[in-house]
Amino acid sequence: MNKESSYLPGRTALIMAFFLSFSACKKSAITDLAPADNFKQTQVDAATGSGSDVMMQAFYWDVPQGGWWNTLNDKIPAWKAAGIGAIWLPPATKAQGGATSMGYDPYDYFDFGSYNQMGTKPTRFGDSTSLGKLIATAHNNSIKVYADIVLNHCSGGTLEANPYTSTSTYTKFTPLSGKFQRTYNDFHPNDIEAADEGAFAGFPDLCHKKANVSNWIYNASYSMSKFYKNSLHFDGFRFDYVKGYGAWVVKNFVNSVGGPAAVFAVGEEWDGNAANLQNWVDATEQTSSAFDFACFYAMNSAFDKNDLTRLNDDMLLKRNAAKAVTFVSNHDTDITTNKYSAYAYIMTHEGYPCVFYKDYENLLDKNRMNNLIWIHKNLAGGTTTNLYSAADQYIDRRNGYGTLPGLIVYFNGSDNWQQQWVTSNWGGKKIKEYTGASNWEPTVAADGRVLIQVPPHAYSIWSVTGL
């Protein structure tokens, strides 16, 4: 991400002309949003993440029990119209908590609501039939479906004598699917390894170096990876708590079903250090993306702690945009209050933005969210140049790529309207503001200079007219 100083000229005749021409313009509220039902096909730039889809995290913690797959199925057409290109589902298999579980305590990796175990036949979200219907509906609407995969630990086993601990442990798993039976030999400690990268909450910790484990997860023809992709037709995978096991596990899982060209993958490497995120992606040999926690924490500091210069912080999207999944909140953490500005940031910058179900469906204005999704898919292309950076104002320019014209996004952390002269890439062209925050439509000077404005504690997004 390169930087360019903003252009702040004196009181020249050109400036006066601009001010006179703008003085009659009304500073409107955020209304008259860009349409959400007329999306263009855009070129994808792998180097910057330009033109990427928008993902929906299609759940939140403790969703209603019994019919979640059906709830999502009914929302698919509207999400398609809004520009959502993929949905991330919660762990869909039977867990120790049965009908109450959110799936992160996995018991039977092949029971999607078909076997009566853990006190229930369906999972919290529904049965295998309703899951299959959801996936089919999504695909019929050109929406990809990503499965949440929990590979660090298991839960719900019965007691057995464990020679490696000299105690009895809950490590005997005999799932009714008859698949991936486990004993103490498949967990830590065992005869080849005392521990791996990390355990979680005292749950039995899978040993991925054991043949029984690796065969059932990705190696064998009957493995989870192949069943999930080839039989259930998942298009990608979100890997939970990847700090708990080696990145090579994710690499092998992805490669077992065709590699990054065939499936999408993203890991939950919960780390606010962008270098550590990049190191994890590198350790997967670029087979997986990572959630950009560095961006997540920088946005919290910028928008909630009133220091927009924190948007200059190092982020995965600035190091490796094609492998950065950006987000504002999720089922585990929700620390940002100024969510509209945060969503405006991830929708105008590189990376693969993820929208949180509860934000989109329950907490925020859906029209404003759809507007930002439209902007991401139709305007936000190319590399980023910083035009202005201060605690109370921040301006970035996306430089455009292919059919995407680029944009200028202006954030304001003050109590007053602000305006700045900036240098655009649209010399001689007419531009407008695409969120409804301003109805100025200036003509850019031949050298690219133009005056733009932004409301208090908000954002404005500018690009060429006629789109």
Number of residues that make up the chain: 467
For strand 352-356 and strand 106-108, is the pairing parallel, antiparallel, or unpaired? unpaired
Residue 268 falls in the annotated catalytic set: yes
Asked whether residue 158 carries a pLDDT value surpassing 60, the answer given is yes
pLDDT level of residue 49 (50, 70, 90 thresholds):
low
For domain 47-380, the question of CATH label 3.20.20.80 is answered with yes
Averaged pLDDT for residues 328-344: 91
The answer to the question of whether 320 is labelled as a binding residue is no
Taking the domains of the chain in order of start, what are their residue ranges? 1-30+381-467, 47-380
Report the interhelical angle of 366-378 vs 68-82 (nearest 10°). Answer: 60
DSSP3 helix / strand / coil % (the chain, rounded to 5): 30, 25, 50
**Ligand-binding site membership of 152 (annotated):** yes
Q: What is the pLDDT of residues 265-310, one digit of tens each?
A: 999 999 999 999 999 999 999 999 999 999 999 999 999 999 999 9
From the list 53, 268, 271, 359, the catalytic residue is 268
Give the per-residue pLDDT at 334. Answer: 82
- Would residue 32 show up in a list of annotated catalytic residues for this protein? no
Alpha helices in 63-170 (DSSP H): 68-82, 128-140
pTM assigned to the model: 0.90
pLDDT tier for residue 46 given thresholds of 50, 70 and 90: low
Task: Choose the catalytic residue: 111, 240, 269, 433.
Answer: 240
For domain 1-30+381-467, is the CATH number 2.60.40.1180? yes
- 128-140 and 68-82 helices cross at what angle (nearest 10)? 10
Q: Which pLDDT band holds residue 45 (cuts at 50, 70, 90)?
A: low
